[in-house]
């Protein structure tokens, strides 16, 4: 376990440098994107130069957020900065090409809430009790007295609302609601932003849900629900990677299910595994670690090389082992 620095040390590093790049993980979620954009907007308010890179570029569903146009794919040639900041990313490989596009920097900062974070970087701040990296970014901004403008608040709201499942998961604390209250005071319109975040989907997503529901399997006497989605199905629907985000929650919600798994065949002979647990005694982070992945106790993932059916069999075996001996 790496020793954390303080938020004050990070604030000082932000104050005392000029050129920043903020990066986050491949297949970004609302937390990864919201944090990165919020930090970059804050740095710009402080008069700094700040760019945001993500291998996947801006997310279609989050383009409504102010500042989302700051997100660029990393350049082919490495660029130098004073400081590189990795947010919401547990390991360096998860940063993808954005990591290798960072050339010389004086300092690497690693801000995250994943318990599996490897502690890379010079200034490391990991708080695994924070439900979202967005909550850590808020604490940083507040502790340092940095600007919290309405656009920054909206991005932090998107980050926190995404990773708490709209303030529903058990990681949601009183502090989370205090932060939410502050973000509303700054200008977040709850109804408006919730509709964009959670109540608006492209039709492709409904087609995908239809395919997922047709493919659901129950094992372990109904305590595990899983779905393996072939690449051909995804291609036929024209679905993009972000369309599959959150579909697993439909499986997880089924009564009796304690572990849900969603397997998605990717190009290049790989399979993306997503897992969710409904009970902290069933640690899906440990299951995903067997496949080289990680995450949180109740939400974790991995990417493995292999055929869909073969990977599915291995994952179902690992789930069955976990359910038999929690």
Nearer to Mn ion, 133 or 297 (CB): 133
Pick the piece of the chain touching Mn ion (CB under 5 A) from 9-17, 24-32, 181-189, 210-218.
24-32
Nearer to Mn ion, 111 or 323 (CB): 111
CA 226, CA 238: separation in Å to the nearest integer? 22
Pick the piece of the chain touching Mn ion (CB under 5 A) from 27-35, 75-83, 208-216, 298-306.
27-35
* DSSP bridge partners of 58: none
Q: How far is CA 203 from CA 238, 243, 301, 303, in A?
A: 10, 10, 26, 27
Q: Which of 14, 27, 31, 257 binds Mn ion (CB under 5 A)?
A: 31
**Non-local CB neighbours of 244 within 8 Å, separated by 6+ positions:** 208, 229, 234, 262, 264
Nearer to Mn ion, 136 or 315 (CB): 136
Residue ranges in 55-74 that form contacts with Mn ion under rule CB under 5 A: none
Q: How far is the CB of 321 from Mn ion (least distance, A)?
A: 27
Q: What is the 3-state secondary structure (H, E, C) of 23-46?
A: EECCCCCHHHHHHHHHHHHHHHHC
Binding to Mn ion by residue 112, rule CB under 5 A? no
Q: Where are the alpha helices (DSSP H) in 57-202?
A: 97-100, 133-144, 150-163, 174-186, 190-198
Binding to Mn ion by residue 163, rule CB under 5 A? yes
Q: Which of 23, 28, 41, 88 binds Mn ion (CB under 5 A)?
A: 88
CA 317, CA 315: separation in Å to the nearest integer? 5
Q: How far is the CB of 296 from Mn ion (least distance, A)?
A: 8
Which residue of this chain has its Cβ atom nearest to Mn ion in the complex?
A: 31
Residues making contact with Mn ion (CB under 5 A): 31, 88, 133, 163
């Amino acid at each position: 376990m790496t020793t954390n620095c303080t938020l004050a040390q990070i604030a000082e590093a932000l104050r005392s440098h000029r050129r920043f790049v903020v990066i986050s993980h491949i297949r970004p979620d609302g937390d990864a994107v919201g944090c990165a954009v919020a930090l970059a907007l804050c740095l710009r308010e402080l008069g700094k130069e700040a760019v945001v890179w993500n291998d996947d570029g801006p997310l279609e569903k989050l383009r409504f957020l102010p500042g989302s146009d700051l997100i660029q794919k990393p350049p082919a040639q490495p660029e130098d900065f004073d400081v590189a900041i990795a947010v919401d990313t547990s390991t360096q490989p998860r940063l993808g090409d954005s990591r290798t596009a960072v050339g010389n920097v004086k300092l690497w900062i690693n801000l995250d809430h994943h318990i599996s974070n490897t502690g890379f970087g010079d200034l490391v701040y990991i708080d695994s009790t924070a439900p979202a990296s967005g909550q850590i970014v808020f604490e940083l901004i507040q502790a340092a007295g940095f600007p919290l403008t309405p656009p920054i608040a909206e991005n932090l709201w998107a980050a926190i609302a995404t990773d708490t499942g709209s303030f529903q998961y058990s990681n949601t604390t009183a502090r989370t609601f205090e932060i939410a209250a502050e973000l509303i005071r700054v200008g977040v319109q709850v109804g408006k932003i919730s509709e964009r975040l959670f109540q608006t989907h492209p039709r492709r997503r409904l087609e995908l849900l239809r395919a997922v529901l047709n493919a659901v399997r129950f094992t372990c006497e109904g305590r595990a629900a899983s779905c393996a989605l072939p690449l051909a199905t995804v291609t036929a629907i024209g679905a993009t990677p972000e369309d599959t985000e959150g579909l697993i929650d439909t499986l997880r919600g089924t009564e009796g299910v304690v572990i849900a798994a969603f397997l998605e065949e990717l190009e290049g002979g790989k399979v993306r595994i997503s897992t969710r647990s409904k009970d902290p005694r069933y640690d899906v982070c440990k299951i995903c670690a067997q496949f080289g992945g990680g995450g949180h106790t109740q939400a974790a993932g991995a990417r493995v090389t292999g055929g869909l059916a073969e990977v599915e069999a291995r994952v179902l075996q690992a789930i069955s082992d976990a359910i038999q001996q929690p």
